Amino acid sequence: MSLVFNLTLITIITLNAIAIILHTVPSINRQHERLFRDFELFSVIFFTVEYVLRLWVCVENENYHHPVWGRIKYIFSATGIIDFLAIFPFYFTLFATDLAVVRILRLFRIFRLFRVTRYSHAFKVIQDVLVDKKEELILSVTFVVFMLIIVSSIVYYVEHPAQPDIFSSIPATMWWGVNAMTTVGYGDMHPITPLGKFLGGMAAILGLSLFALPTGIIASGFAEHIRAHKAPVKHRCPHCGKEF
């Protein structure tokens, strides 16, 4: 029964993602507007009932065992927030009059797609690896941010006299810094002075090295996780303690 429900839920989440994408195609939206609206209503009712039931039975989990504070803790957990964001936009737009707000909140419906991660082993592995390596990742990302600020500040003072409108401030130059360090290079901002070009090249080389840090950390985390789960199970004799 649990497998059937999980497959049904994954199917509805997948169909919601497809509906959100197709809804943005004008020709398809005009032709099947009623279908999209009815399916949205059905999905919201389904997800609302499921959210209420999960909120009711979450106290069975030892992490949320308290009848009041346990449910509050579940509401503000990552899982609870994703479940809430899956239904919140629909109810809010019933009372919203600002069309811009309505359009923004409709984007929140894509959070329904995140709910499928609960039933995917691959996403659970990714989550476990990120949790295990969170300190190393935070340290490497912090180092990248520091270097971005330093590089952008230096290039700002070098290029601002030559291009005051483009390199108008350090925050504006940080957009160039991101492009340079990730080697994307959109071309909307680029240094023209010899020193600025030299610094831009150094920033690109430095960026390749810095952004390899979190990649290597995550890769090592995956390798450790796979080794740990594929390691042979060792049994010991309860009497002599020898492995067999």
pLDDT at 195: 92
Q: Give the pLDDT score at 151.
A: 92
CA distance 149 to 169: 12
The span from the CA of 111 to the CA of 91, in Å, is: 15
With 70 as the cut, is the pLDDT of residue 194 above it? yes
Please tell me the predicted confidence (pLDDT) of residue 62: 83
- Across all residues in the chain, what is the average pLDDT? 81
Q: Write down the domain spans for the chain.
A: 2-119, 134-230
Conformational region of residue 183, where left means phi above 0, alpha means psi within -120 to 50, and beta covers everything else: left
Closest CA to 221 of 135, 119, 139, 116: 135
pLDDT value of position 104: 63
Neighbours of 6 (CB within 10 A): 13
pLDDT score, position 23? 81
% residues pLDDT > 90 (the chain): 14
**What is the value of pTM for the model shown?**
0.60
Higher pLDDT, 44 or 3: 44
Fold entry, domain 2-119: Four Helix Bundle (Hemerythrin (Met), subunit A) (1.20.120)
pLDDT number for residue 233: 52
Task: Quote the CA–CA distance of 80 and 124 in Å, as a whole number.
Answer: 16
Residue 153 has pLDDT above 90, yes or no: yes
Between the CA of residue 86 and those of 51, 65, 81, what are the distances in Å?
9, 24, 9
For residue 180, pLDDT beyond 80:
yes
pLDDT confidence of 13, banded at 50, 70, 90?
Answer: confident
**pLDDT number for residue 193:** 92
Exposed (0-12), middle (13-18) or buried (19+): which is 129, by Cβ within 10 Å? buried
User: Per-residue pLDDT tens for 86-126?
Assistant: 788 778 777 766 555 656 666 666 666 666 666 566 677 77
Q: Which residue type, as a one-letter code, is found at position 137?
A: L
Q: Reply yes or no on whether the pLDDT at 221 is more than 60.
A: yes
The CATH number of the domain covering residues in 134-230: 1.10.287.70
Q: Is residue 241 very low, low, confident or very high in pLDDT (cuts 50, 70, 90)? A: low
Cα separation of 131 and 221, whole Å?
A: 10
Q: What is the pLDDT of residues 154-171, one digit of tens each?
A: 999 999 999 999 999 999
Segment 30-47 mean pLDDT: 88
